[in-house]
Amino acid sequence: MATTSDIKNGAVILYKNKRMKVVEFLHVKPGKGPAFVRTKLKDIQTGKVIDETFNAGVKLEFIRIEAKQMQFLYDDGDQYIFMDNQTYDQLNVHQEVLGNSKAFLKAGINVDLLFDGKEILDIRLPAHVHLEVTHTEPGIKGNTATGGTKPATVETGYEVQVPLFINTGDVLKLDTRTGDYIERSKN
């Protein structure tokens, strides 16, 4: 059985008979008193995030999850269809499992689906995606000195703050972890 020293972001533990994903953690060694680990845990079933503190060395039960690379094909209302890259089997995933990740899903993108047996726990996106801007207000020439931003809607319907020089039709590189604009794609 593992201890608190094995905690890392993305790990899934069994805590109070619930599968909890470690969102973030911090090992703390105060000058006085014993060390402890401060964590944010996300309930995989409900999506609720809780703060929990464990004393150093406490035994935890980690759940072994399997990651399988799959290709996103299309969305069908509240179902998202993925294809296994090895067997070509298709799998329907409910939008609640995807959470905010669905804002970055573009047809043809490869992602990792995380399984506990047959149940889908989570989705792991690539660090960056390239999405085309479908709507944004035109930038006004000479209005870039302030480093201002404006909203832009990309092809998945996600709205992101971008610099004023971005126009409709530009392809943007977005960070899937934070949802922020990184740069205009050079393609």
- pLDDT at position 145 is 58
Q: What range defines the domain where residue 110 resides?
A: 66-124
Band (144; pLDDT cuts 50, 70, 90): low
Residues 70 and 108 in one domain: yes
- pLDDT at position 146 is 66
Question: Which whole-number Å values give the CA distances from 60 to 7, 19, 26, 47, in the listed order?
Answer: 9, 12, 16, 20
Of 141, 143, 131, 133, nearest to 166 by C-alpha is 133
List pLDDT tens digits, range 94-143. 887 777 888 888 888 899 888 877 777 778 888 889 999 999 888 666 65
Residues 51 and 8 in one domain: yes
Question: Which whole-number Å values give the CA distances from 78 to 44, 144, 147, in the listed order?
Answer: 18, 40, 38
- pLDDT at position 177 is 83
Among the candidates 62, 92, 112, a domain finishes at: 62
In this predicted structure, the answer to whether residue 44 has a pLDDT above a threshold of 80 is no
Q: How many domains does the chain have?
A: 3
CATH number, domain with residue 109: 2.40.50.140
Residues 92 and 135 in one domain: no
- pLDDT at position 153 is 92
- pLDDT at position 141 is 64
The stretch 60-78 carries a mean pLDDT of 85
Token representation of residue 26: 């911090």
Residues 9 and 49 in one domain: yes
Cα angle 172, 177, 178 (rounded to 5 degrees) comes to 70
List pLDDT tens digits, range 10-20. 788 888 888 88
Distance separating alpha carbons of residues 104 and 146, to the nearest angstrom: 29
Among the candidates 62, 89, 104, a domain finishes at: 62
Distance separating alpha carbons of residues 62 and 134, to the nearest angstrom: 43
Report yes or no on whether pTM surpasses 0.95.
no
- pLDDT at position 159 is 92
Residues 144 and 172 in one domain: yes
Token representation of residue 103: 């804002």
